């Protein structure tokens, strides 16, 4: 796919894109989920999951480099226009589903912790309008938000890891490696939703200058995200017992209540409000990827596809009303990510590389 150089960004910015797309609302409460199978060894499972993500990114790069374009180009080259477009639409549908999940989870957190009477549609419209404004500015604007989001992540977690040491119990994490390999892998599987977001690489690849040689920055980004997730799980386990984790949905927000500064009270309010930039960054990347993909497939202006996707997201968010519905929707999103990006994409990449190499010879 031909891409104007002025639309492309420097390779090192891929680190910020991957990091900002991965670290989202899931990091606030994934500790309870991963601890179900591996207990306090679950932080090791996060590292295992991160290694799997690095491997998937490697497969993505091999496939995209050969295709010299995005996933839509790769599908068309292997399956033809119609079948290839159908497979591409599945991935674009996943991007939309992930958008809905991220937005609705954040709105739920705001409703539970800050404004219980706030209407879902009101906050959703506000956030989607901001996203529309960002995406309308073009890919470079989206990357700029991703850059700011990553800087914010570093500052935020420097504060979050300022633990109230009077509540720390080192014995919680001992003995280490007290669970089987099977339990660690099951826990790593539960990390899939939290690790999601790196999939935008399939669409943004042509917009990275010297994309073929930029893989190290994507891998660094995944590594940094994995480090944040592992530290988040590890420090959470130092503070909360397994019985407490069962009853705490958003562990990091609960811990934020314990953090006090001489000049600041109710740190959890600051945390939730500030997390908006994280949500905007993730949604902007996903919306840009989805709207551009629909533009390439159906030859429609991107602003129209962006409006269509935003309306769909708004309607579905309004329909997800209860905790059970939101949780079930998140589970379905996680399963879709497992099948599409941890199974289909590596298999497709292998087949694509084999067929291309045969054709070349």
CATH number at residue 205: 1.20.1740.10
Which of these, 132, 137, 153, 136, lies nearest to 280 by C-alpha position?
A: 132
Q: Give the N- to C-terminal CA distance of the chain in Å, as an integer.
A: 23
Cβ 17 vs Cβ 200: under 8 Å: yes
* Among candidate residues 180, 178, 175, 230, the one with its CA nearest the CA of residue 49: 230
Residue 270's alpha-carbon distances to 17, 72, 256, in angstroms, are: 24, 40, 9
Distant-in-sequence, close-in-space partners of 99: CB < 8 Å, separation ≥ 6: 283, 286, 287, 290, 309, 313
Asked if 22 and 196 count as a contact pair (C-beta separation under 8 A), the reply is yes
Count up the domains in the chain and report the number. Answer: 1
Query: Is the CB of residue 45 less than 8 Å from the CB of residue 331?
Result: no
pLDDT of residue 159: 65
Q: Is 205 part of a structural domain of the chain? A: yes
Query: Does 54 reside within a domain?
Result: yes
Write down the H helix ranges in the chain: 13-22, 30-38, 42-67, 71-79, 81-113, 120-136, 139-160, 181-190, 192-195, 201-204, 215-239, 242-247, 251-256, 267-274, 276-298, 302-319, 323-337, 345-360
Does residue 147 sit within a domain? yes
Burial readout 12-29 (b: 16 or more C-beta within 10 A, e: otherwise): ebbbbbbbbbbbbbbbbb
Predicted local confidence at residue 4, as pLDDT: 56
Q: Give the 3-state secondary structure of residue 162.
A: coil
pLDDT for res 131? 94
Q: Considering only CA atoms, which of 30, 25, 24, 65 is closest in space to residue 46?
A: 30
d(CA 290, CA 286): 6
* Residue 231, pLDDT score: 87
Looking at the domain assignment, is residue 291 inside a domain? yes
Tokens, residue 73: 């180009």
Say if 126 falls within a structural domain: yes
- CA torsion 23-27-31-32 (nearest 10°) is -130
As given in the structure block, the two tokens for residue 176 are 């280490």
Q: Kindly give the confidence (pLDDT) of every residue in the chain, 361 residues in length, as a single tens digit, with 9 standing for 90 and above.
A: 455 567 788 999 999 999 999 888 888 888 888 888 888 888 899 999 999 999 999 999 999 998 888 999 999 998 988 999 999 999 999 999 999 999 999 999 999 988 888 999 999 999 999 999 999 999 999 999 999 888 877 777 766 666 666 677 777 777 777 878 888 888 888 888 888 888 999 999 999 988 778 899 999 999 999 998 888 888 888 888 777 787 888 888 888 777 766 766 777 788 888 889 889 999 999 999 999 999 999 999 999 999 999 999 999 999 998 888 998 998 899 889 989 989 999 999 999 999 888 876 6
Q: Judge whether 194 and 59 are in contact, CB under 8 Å.
A: no
> Within a domain: residue 361?
no
Q: Is residue 360 included in any domain, yes or no?
A: no
For residue 190, what pLDDT is reported?
Answer: 86
Whether 205 contacts 8, CB under 8 Å: no
d(CA 73, CA 209): 18
| d(C-alpha 45, C-alpha 43), whole Å | 5
The three-state (H, E, C) secondary structure of 94-123, written as one string: HHHHHHHHHHHHHHHHHHHHCCCCCCHHHH
| Residues spanned by the domain of 210 | 5-353
């Amino acid at each position: 796919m031909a891409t104007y150089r002025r639309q492309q960004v420097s390779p090192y910015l891929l680190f910020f894109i991957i990091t900002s797309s991965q670290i989202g609302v899931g990091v606030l409460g994934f500790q309870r989920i991963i601890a179900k199978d591996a207990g306090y060894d679950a932080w090791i499972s996060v590292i295992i999951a991160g290694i799997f993500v690095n491997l998937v990114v490697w497969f993505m790069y091999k496939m995209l480099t050969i295709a010299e374009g995005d996933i839509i180009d790769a599908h068309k080259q292997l399956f033809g226009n119609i079948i290839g477009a159908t497979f591409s639409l599945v991935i674009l549908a996943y991007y939309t589903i992930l958008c809905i999940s991220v937005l609705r989870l954040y709105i739920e957190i705001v409703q539970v912790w800050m404004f219980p009477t706030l209407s879902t549609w009101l906050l959703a419209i506000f956030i989607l309008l901001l996203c529309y404004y960002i995406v309308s500015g073009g890919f470079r604007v989206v990357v700029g938000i991703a850059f700011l989001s990553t800087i914010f992540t570093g500052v935020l977690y420097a504060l979050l890891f300022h633990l109230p040491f009077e509540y720390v119990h080192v014995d919680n994490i001992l003995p280490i490696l007290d669970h089987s390999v099977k339990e660690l892998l099951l826990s790593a599987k539960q990390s899939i939703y939290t690790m999601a977001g790196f999939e935008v690489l399939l669409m943004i690849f042509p917009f990275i200058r010297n994309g073929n040689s930029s893989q190290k920055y994507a891998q660094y980004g995944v590594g940094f995200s994995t480090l944040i997730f592992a530290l988040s799980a590890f420090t959470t386990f130092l503070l909360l017992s397994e019985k407490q984790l069962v009853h705490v949905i958003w562990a990091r927000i609960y811990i934020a209540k314990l953090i006090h500064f001489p000049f600041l009270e109710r740190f959890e309010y600051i945390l939730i409000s500030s997390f908006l930039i994280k949500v905007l960054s993730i949604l902007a990347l996903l919306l840009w990827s989805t709207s551009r993909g629909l533009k390439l497939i159906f030859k429609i202006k991107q602003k129209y596809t962006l409006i269509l996707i935003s309306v769909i997201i708004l309607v579905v968010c309004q329909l997800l009303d209860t905790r059970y519905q939101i949780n079930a929707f998140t589970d379905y999103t996680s399963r879709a990510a497992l099948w599409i990006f941890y199974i289909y994409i590596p298999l497709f990449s292998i087949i694509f590389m084999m067929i291309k190499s045969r054709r070349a010879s």
